[in-house]
């Protein structure tokens, strides 16, 4: 992210404002489901206003990997490879946070952090593993084939995104979907959460792309200096 550019400063400011607004609304504005059947720790409900937007932005990150990978294979332009790799890094971070916040809620509400029998947990874990493998592949492959192989792997791995999303409808999913689970009065707070975490995604992505571009420029300068010696 180039802090000398106004749109980058505006993006950062918008992210900070919406994150602060989300923190305030999740503490003082939302309606807690005290009267909903089956709830044992309604205070822990607050975490959903971070957990759900984190999951959404993780999907957005991997969708960006998919689009950028397709664009790279079509154009062979290095900028798309950089976008794909940086977005995968951000996506792995966001997925990790989504899994952790979900585990914290599960412990408070259902007295366990993790249960492999939950289809949503299992498929999301596989999604996380797929993009960890994508990053490991990038670290292991050298030369001109790196971007091409990574793009193909990034496209194939996207299949786990819709699989993770629809798995909550599976009979083996233990995610709460009963009526009254999410009071409609809380929709505006959830929307603020989605906006805030989406802006966070773009901020992190911009920072990583900026860093990678700087690294590429330094590599060029280094090569030119070595050739001149």
Query: Per-residue pLDDT tens for 168-196?
Result: 776 656 565 555 566 778 889 999 999 99
The stretch 56-74 carries a mean pLDDT of 96
137, 50, 46, 54: which is closest to 96 by C-alpha?
54
- Burial class, 117, CB count within 10 angstroms (exposed 0-12 / middle 13-18 / buried 19+): exposed
Is 9 domain-assigned? no
pTM score of the predicted model: 0.88
Mean pLDDT throughout 50-59?
95
Any domain includes 17:
no
pLDDT at 67: 97
> Domain tally for the chain?
1
- Whether 144 maps to a domain, the answer reads yes
Q: Are 135 and 88 in contact (CB under 8 A)?
A: yes
User: Residue 178: its pLDDT value, please?
Assistant: 52
Does residue 197 or residue 143 have the better pLDDT?
197
The DSSP output letter for 31 is: P
In a domain, 153, yes or no: yes
Is the per-residue pLDDT at 23 higher than 60?
A: yes
Residue 79 has pLDDT above 90, yes or no: yes
pLDDT higher than threshold 80 for residue 40? no
Q: Could you say which DSSP state residue 155 is in?
A: H
**pLDDT of 6:** 79
- Better-predicted residue by pLDDT, 179 or 227: 227
pLDDT for res 3: 53
Sequence-distant (≥ 6) Cβ neighbours of residue 219 within 8 angstroms:
none
* Residue corresponding to tokens 């900026």: 210
Angle between helices 78-110 and 187-228 (to 10 degrees): 140
Whether residue 10 is contained in a domain is answered as no
pLDDT for residue 201 is more than 90 = yes
pLDDT of residue 128: 96
- Structural domain that includes position 78: 48-220
Q: Render pLDDT for 108-164 as a digit per residue (tens, 0 to 9).
A: 877 788 888 778 888 999 999 999 999 999 988 887 789 999 999 999 999 999 998
Contact, 9 vs 36, CB < 8 A?
no
Report the distance separating Cα 84 and Cα 61, nearest Å.
Answer: 9
Asked if the structure places residue 64 within a domain, the reply is: yes
* 25 occurs within a structural domain: no
Share of the chain above pLDDT 90, in %: 55
- Please determine, for residue 2, whether its predicted confidence score (pLDDT) is greater than 60: no
Residue 80 located in a structural domain = yes
């Amino acid at each position: 992210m180039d802090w000398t550019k106004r749109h980058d400063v505006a993006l950062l400011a918008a992210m900070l404002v919406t994150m602060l607004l989300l923190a305030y609304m999740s503490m003082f504005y939302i309606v807690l489901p005290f009267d909903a059947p089956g709830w044992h720790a309604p205070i822990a409900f607050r975490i959903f206003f971070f957990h759900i937007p984190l999951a959404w932005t993780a999907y957005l990150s991997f969708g960006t990997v998919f689009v950028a990978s397709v664009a790279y294979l079509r154009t062979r332009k290095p900028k798309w490879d950089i976008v794909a790799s940086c977005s995968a890094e951000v996506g792995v971070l966001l997925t990790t946070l989504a899994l952790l916040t979900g585990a914290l809620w599960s412990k408070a509400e259902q007295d366990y952090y993790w249960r492999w029998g939950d289809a949503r947990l299992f498929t999301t874990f596989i999604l996380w593993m797929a993009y960890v493998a994508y990053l490991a592949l990038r670290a292991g492959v050298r030369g001109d084939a790196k971007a091409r192989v990574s793009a193909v792997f990034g496209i194939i791995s996207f299949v786990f995104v819709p699989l993770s999303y629809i798995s909550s409808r599976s009979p083996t999913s233990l995610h709460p979907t009963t009526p009254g689970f999410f009071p409609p009065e809380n929709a505006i707070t959830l929307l603020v959460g989605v906006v805030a975490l989406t802006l966070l995604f773009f901020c992190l992505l911009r920072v990583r792309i900026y860093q990678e571009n700087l690294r590429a420029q330094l590599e060029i300068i280094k090569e030119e200096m070595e050739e001149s010696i």
